[in-house]
């Protein structure tokens, strides 16, 4: 054994820090590219600074715009979640009472509307007769 345990520890630590550095670098570059508040020249300037002087550029970026990184990521996540929920709603519900779904689906929707108080008894009966007549 010519490689002591302490050297193995230091090697693992340096590899960990190296991977951590690249993750930070890619996260910052991704934030620069996806930020809609920056114009093209500002994006190019930050990218040049981060690529040519990586340590200084990353630290300056984190000091100048680091707090906004979390806010921008949260907004993107909320927008993605909203789009996903809208897609699920659109895919899961048939289009309206008259289209999509059979009579049973339409009648169950009418019953649900009546139970929530959105339809009176008269409106429910008329809509039910209309569904059954079609």
Each residue's pLDDT tens digit, 3-19: 788 898 999 999 999 99
Instruction: Report the share of the chain in percent with pLDDT over 90.
Output: 51
Alpha-carbon distance of 57 to 53, in angstroms, equals 5
Asked if 109 contacts 95 with a C-beta cutoff of 8 angstroms, the reply is no
Q: Which two tokens stand for residue 133?
A: 């007549």
Asked if 124 contacts 116 with a C-beta cutoff of 8 angstroms, the reply is no
Residues 44-55 have a mean pLDDT of 93
**Stated pTM of the model:** 0.58
């Amino acid at each position: 054994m010519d490689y002591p345990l302490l050297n193995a520890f230091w090697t693992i630590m340096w590899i960990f820090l190296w991977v951590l550095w690249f993750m930070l670098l890619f996260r910052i570059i991704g934030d620069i590219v996806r930020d809609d508040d920056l114009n093209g020249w500002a994006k190019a300037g930050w990218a040049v600074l981060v690529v040519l002087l990586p340590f200084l550029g990353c630290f300056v970026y984190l000091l100048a715009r680091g707090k906004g990184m979390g806010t921008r990521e949260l907004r993107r996540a909320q927008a993605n979640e909203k789009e996903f929920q809208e897609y699920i709603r659109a895919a899961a519900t048939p289009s309206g009472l008259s289209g999509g779904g059979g009579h049973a689906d339409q009648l169950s929707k009418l019953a649900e509307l009546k139970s929530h108080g959105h339809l009176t008894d008269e409106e429910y009966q008329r809509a039910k007769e209309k569904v059954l007549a079609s």
